[in-house]
Structure 1
């Protein structure tokens, strides 16, 4: 490894999938003020790239994304950088993750999304291999938790879940457990029912809370296989979800069909004929 002044234009900042996907503007301003006052205390880390028409820059960024962004915002043309020689891309990714684990708080969602992206790009054959490489010091429990994060991102990435990067570890753990217990349809139906800009993540979580409590409750003794069912989505565009109540159960009907004024009366009639048939 060697220290050098490298032109900002020679550094490909996004050559590696990054675990940090959001940049805090206030934190970046603080970093700029710090660099202006006392200089850059920690150089960024880069590695050499093979240049061609598709990749004109000679260096790829390993760690120091925020520092690089700060130098660009300050109008600098070069930045102190340590030139590393990782054996391959997985080693460079592991170096990035290790550095960010120490210097910045990476959210559980961002960790799961990074692993999934690397699997999609073929960098690793499976999640276990990715976790072993990126988090070599993780305990068995931590590895299981990371696999849970991957499951949550994989299933909920394309749902209306707002600002998932703000989900805490505890909430990601609850979602992972509920998804493992086949709670995906009920969770997704709840998110769809609380979609749109008027619903923030805290509001969505309050809507999910009773659903998760129901899913995570131990099934009653004598339950049939694959029961209890937490959600039922009909082809006609209506979803039924069940929620535990103090004295029983609540069945929620959502979707376009659920807006029909006479639907509940029809459901009452069906239940009455089923549970109280005429003699």
Structure 2
């Protein structure tokens, strides 16, 4: 019954179209705050044991649906053995934090995984600026704002193609790498790791991705552009409402009111209405009339 729908990604647009939504759908991504993410980075925040050139960064809540355990496993199997200088830094916290720390220990990569904890939003541009690649394994995102924030700061991503928010932010082979997550997870994890290793080995390719990621993020997530697109969506919704408006001979609301009035008139005539109790069992006045 609406006149327009705003979604964050083309994947969500397809989702709602497949479920019968007929009204105009507007894909408007989340904006990035330039005052924060265009600020000059501060000094290197990474652990001294994480050498420049092999720094992988992931930023997320530490909960299972972010697929961090899978990321740790593929790092251990497909990246760490081929790149002795590669490290994985995890920014964030959450209820499954200890589970992820334990997983890193069991995988034998505790000395190459650094849990930086929750960091302030204003510090994130510095983390992105001093990293070499952003890696993201989550398949549960409606959007995945951290991918755009990393791109805004010129940090390209290797991520699983989720068909939703993340897939709408990365063009595979242009500004990052999108990896098919399955159904063969072993092959997918090996592919993910191979792409990470390749980008770490090819700084010029990584640099080209970084420039394009920054350019596209600034176009996509500029607040003024996003606000302008909302105004356009409101305008189209107004026009859609005007085109779709039909004056019914007897509006549904009036029909319902008529039924309600009729039922209560009959009840009143039969003496079935009683005054509300002064107090109910919660010591609160009953707010309306009821059938007795």
Q: Which of structures 1 and 2 has the bigger CA Rg?
A: 2
TM-score (norm: length of structure 2): 0.26
TM-score (norm: length of structure 1): 0.27
Which structure ranks higher in relative contact order (CA pairs < 8 Å, sequence separation ≥ 6)? 2
